[in-house]
Chains A and B, each alone.
Chain A
Amino acid sequence: GAVVSQHPSRVICKSGTSVKIECRSLDFQATTMFWYRQFPKQSLMLMATSNEGSKATYEQGVEKDKFLINHASLTLSTLTVTSAHPEDSSFYICSARPGRRGQETQYFGPGTRLLVL
């Protein structure tokens, strides 16, 4: 089956620093990638949708200057949390969707746990 990886799986950083999270589709090309955030005991909230070679579309309330998304290739998207603060501590999950017609399933990465001290 389709595999999506994320790196790192866990990161601890000091307040004010920036953190980059990578999301890769390992065995398929993903024309669309999604970034979600999940707080403890809550569901996934979509942050942004990105298409390869285009600017990301951010959901309402998500600061695009704080959460920088780059979808540079059909297999890689990155999320950079700039000037991270403790309230940014969360579980970040990426998802990728193949671009082929009929391939509607979204495949999810294992998530990245971010803790900002």
Chain B
Amino acid sequence: KQEVTQIPAALSVPEGENLVLNCSFTDSAIYNLQWFRQDPGKGLTSLLLIQSSQREQTSGRLNASLDKSSGRSTLYIAASQPGDSATYLCAVRRGSGNTGKLIFGQGTTLQVKP
């Protein structure tokens, strides 16, 4: 059974700091991995999607890496801003098509202080 763990559960940093969020999964047979952002009481916004054959994806100040063999992914946020404050969720997908369910981690709640 696939299990996804995110560390730390919560993180508070001053504005401008670079930071890394960690995600680990127990079954390396994944189809892809996705990072999401969730604001309080809101739905999810997809940030980055990494296919199993890829090592990393970048979007603006965000960079996500994937090491499938070790079951790890990291989300790097450069020059953090107060607007980055949210809960960040990673999710892995095992298969394509109808079998491709997303399994979520518990999330890391980030607070960036001005």
In the complex, per-residue mask of A59-87: 1 if CB is within 8 Å of any chain B CB, else 0: 00000000000000000000000000000
Q: With a CB–CB cut-off of 8 A, which chain B residues contact A42?
A: 106
Q: How large is the interface on A (under 10, 10 to 19, 20 to 34, 35 or more residues)?
A: 20 to 34
Closest to A108 in B: B44
Q: Tell me, rounded to whole Å, the shortest Cβ–Cβ distance linking A60 to chain B.
A: 10
Expressed in whole angstroms, the Cα–Cα distance for A95 and B51 within the complex equals: 19
Q: How large is the interface on B (under 10, 10 to 19, 20 to 34, 35 or more residues)?
A: 20 to 34
B contact residues vs A (CB 8 Å cutoff):
31-32, 34, 36, 41-46, 49, 51, 89, 91, 93, 96, 98, 100-107
Q: Are A44's CB and B98's CB within 8 A? A: no
Q: Tell me, rounded to whole Å, the shortest Cβ–Cβ distance linking B36 to chain A.
A: 8
A106 within 8 A of B: yes
A15 within 8 A of B: no
Closest 9 pairs (CB-CB, A-B): A108-B44, A110-B43, A43-B104, A108-B43, A43-B106, A111-B43, A44-B104, A109-B43, A105-B49
Q: List 7 A-B contacts (CB under 8 A).
A: A32-B98, A34-B101, A49-B101, A97-B100, A104-B49, A106-B102, A108-B36
Q: Are A43's CB and B89's CB within 8 A? A: yes
